[in-house]
Amino acid sequence: MNFEISTYLTKTGERGWGKCKECQKSVQWAKERVATHKRSSCLNTSEEVKRLFSKRKSDSNLHLSSTQRIINLDDSSSINSNETEIENSKEDIDQKLANFFFRTGISLRLVESDAFKKFVQALNPTYSTTIPNAKTLSGPLLDKQFSKCSTILNDILETSANLTLVSDGWTNIRGDHIVNFCIKAPEQKPFFYTSINTSGINQNASAVSAAVIEVIETLGPEKFCSFISDNAPVMRAAWKLIGERFPNISTHGCAAHAVNLLIKDIANTSESSKIIKDAEKIIKFVKNHHIVKAKFDEKRLSANISHSLSMPVSTRWYSLYTSMNELYALKYVLIQLFDEESDIFKEIQPKATSTSVCSLIKSNTFWDRLLKLIKDIEYPTKIIGKLESDDASLSLVYKYFGDMYNFYDDPTILEKIKKRFDFLTSPVVGLAYILTPQNAAEGFFFNEDKTDIISSISEFANKIDPLIADKSENEMISFIAEMSLLPQKRKDVIFKMSAKQYWNILGRDKYPNLFRVISPIIHMISSSAISERTWSTFRFIHSRLRNRLSNERVKKLVFMYTNSVLLDTADKTDYILDEGALLNEIECEEMSE
pLDDT tens-digit map of 228-281: 998 888 999 999 999 999 999 999 999 999 999 999 999 998 889 999 999 999
In angstroms, the Cα distances linking 76 to 62, 73, 83 are 17, 6, 11
Residue 69 has pLDDT above 50, yes or no: no
Residue 476 has pLDDT above 80, yes or no: yes
> Do the beta carbons of residue 287 and residue 309 sit within 8 Å?
yes
Q: Which amino acid is it at 216?
A: I
pLDDT of residue 577: 62
In angstroms, the Cα distances linking 24 to 42, 103, 134 are 9, 39, 38
Same-domain status, 498 and 435: yes
Out of 363-377, 479-493, 555-569, pick the least confident.
555-569
Same-domain status, 461 and 432: yes
Which domain does 173 fall in, by range? 160-254+528-587
Higher pLDDT, 55 or 373: 373
Residue 151 covered by a domain? no
In whole angstroms, what separates CA 373 from the centre of its chain? 30
Looking at residue 522, what DSSP letter applies?
A: G
Helices (H), 289-317: 290-302
> Do the beta carbons of residue 175 and residue 165 sit within 8 Å?
no
Q: Which amino acid is it at 469?
A: A
Is the pTM higher than 0.95? The answer reads no
351 pLDDT band, cuts 50/70/90, is confident
Higher pLDDT, 89 or 466: 466
Same-domain status, 141 and 27: no
Same-domain status, 493 and 544: no
Q: Quote the percentage of the chain above a pLDDT of 90.
A: 62
pLDDT of residue 166: 96
Same-domain status, 138 and 179: no
Same-domain status, 473 and 497: yes
Which helix (H) or strand (E) is 134 found in, with range?
helix 134-136
Chain-wide mean pLDDT for the chain? Answer: 86
Residue 554 covered by a domain? yes
Closest CA to 521 of 473, 566, 461: 461
pLDDT of residue 5: 85
Out of 77-86, 155-164, 192-201, 343-352, pick the least confident.
77-86
pLDDT (average), residues 270-294: 92
Query: Highest mean pLDDT: which of 6-15, 86-95, 152-161, 341-350?
Result: 152-161
Same-domain status, 135 and 181: no
Q: Which residues of 78-93 are buried (b: 16+ CB within 10 A; e: fewer)?
A: eeeeeeeeeeeeeeeb
Q: Which amino acid is it at 32?
A: E
CATH number of the domain that residue 196 is part of: 3.30.420.10
**Of 72, 88, 116, which one is at a domain's C-terminal end?**
72
pLDDT of residue 1: 59
Widest Cα–Cα separation across the chain: 100
As for how many domains the chain has, the answer is 5
- How many other CB atoms are found less than 10 A from the CB of residue 426? 16
